[in-house]
Amino acid sequence: MKRLRVAVLMGGPSAEREVSLQSGRMVVEALQATGAMVMPIDVEGTTVNFPEHVDVAFIAMHGTFGEDGHLQQILEERGIAYTGSDPGSSARAFDKVLAKECFMASGIPTPSYAVANESLAGVDELQWPLVVKPARQGSSMGVSIVRDRATLRQACQQARQFDGQILIEQFVRGRELTVGILGRQTLPVIEIRTPSGFFDYRAKYTAGAAEEIVPAPLDATTTARAQFFALRAHECLGCRDFSRVDIMLSDQGQMAVLEVNTIPGLTPNSLLPKAAKAAGLSMADLCTRMIEMALARRTEAVAA
């Protein structure tokens, strides 16, 4: 890593800008410890100005533009190696409706859902309670749990502030799990417990607001099932290098994949670094692995 020029892209124009800045600062600190020449870049809009002679771009941008394939396409066109998934898989994972279509086509269990329209057609086929969420947003922004039709429209209006397309999903009562992917390996499963039973924005980024148990207290068979479905979900979307897959384990013992995060948080309270630590990897180790995979692809492309 010494003398390697790494541009760390953080910030961005999305609603997750502040979280991204936290992730970026953590990455910068970790990479500096490896001896790399780190160049922090605070992206404030949709234009990215790169310094000369960048060896690799480390994407620490969450949400719109940074995580949805747009930034990845810019880097592809400029011929700059970058961490994480390519434009197509980034777009599929970021769009929760497209992702669910892929899950269902691949036989991966996922909660029943409807896409909201003005008449809310299709909702009557679901059972209450329901989860209302923007189709293209992260960090649980705009997400509500609704228990009756009286509050459904209000929840849709709230979600629509973050995206024009709204996903209405069957609420799964049970235990919330998340599984990190690194390379083609799954990391230890984490169980998330919150007093409210809802891992919302505050719980995700406030120290002590949620209990995150790693490894999750599951039997070996259930752990293997969660890791199996996580890796399948990651692969069916075409993701590469790393991701974090959110899964519900119902009270009846059934798995339901919620979503795949292609640029999971890298803040002090984030889940992927905690899973990596449980696997014996420091933050510097984790970031180094991400960069090594990006550079290996560039080497393969040049050789081809």
Catalytic residue among 205, 240, 243, 270: 205
Among the listed residues 64, 53, 9, 15, the one whose alpha carbon sits nearest the alpha carbon of residue 31: 9
Catalytic residue among 84, 265, 269, 270: 265
**Cis before residue 215, ω within 30 degrees of 0?**
yes
Catalytic residue among 16, 95, 176, 191: 16
How far is CA 121 from each of CA 85, 113, 133, 165, 170, rounded to the nearest angstrom?
Answer: 34, 11, 16, 14, 14
- 265 a catalytic residue: yes
Q: Per the structure block, which two tokens stand in for 131?
A: 């989860």
Catalytic residue among 139, 144, 243, 270: 139
Q: Tell me phi and psi for residue 110, to 5 degrees.
A: -150, 150
Residues 6+ away with beta carbon under 8 Å from 226 = 177, 179, 189, 216, 218, 247, 249, 255
- 82 a catalytic residue: no
- 205 a catalytic residue: yes
- 52 a catalytic residue: no
- 67 a catalytic residue: no
Q: In terms of C-beta density within 10 A (0-12 exposed, 13-18 middle, 19 or more buried), how is residue 205 classed? A: buried
Catalytic residue among 92, 136, 225, 244: 244
- 106 a catalytic residue: no
Catalytic residue among 69, 90, 246, 270: 246
Q: From CA 285, how far away is CA 183, in angstroms rounded?
A: 13
Catalytic residue among 86, 142, 259, 269: 259
CB-based contact 245:178 (threshold 8 Å) = yes
Q: From CA 123, how far away is CA 116, in angstroms rounded?
A: 8
Active site residues: 16, 139, 205, 244, 246, 259, 261, 265
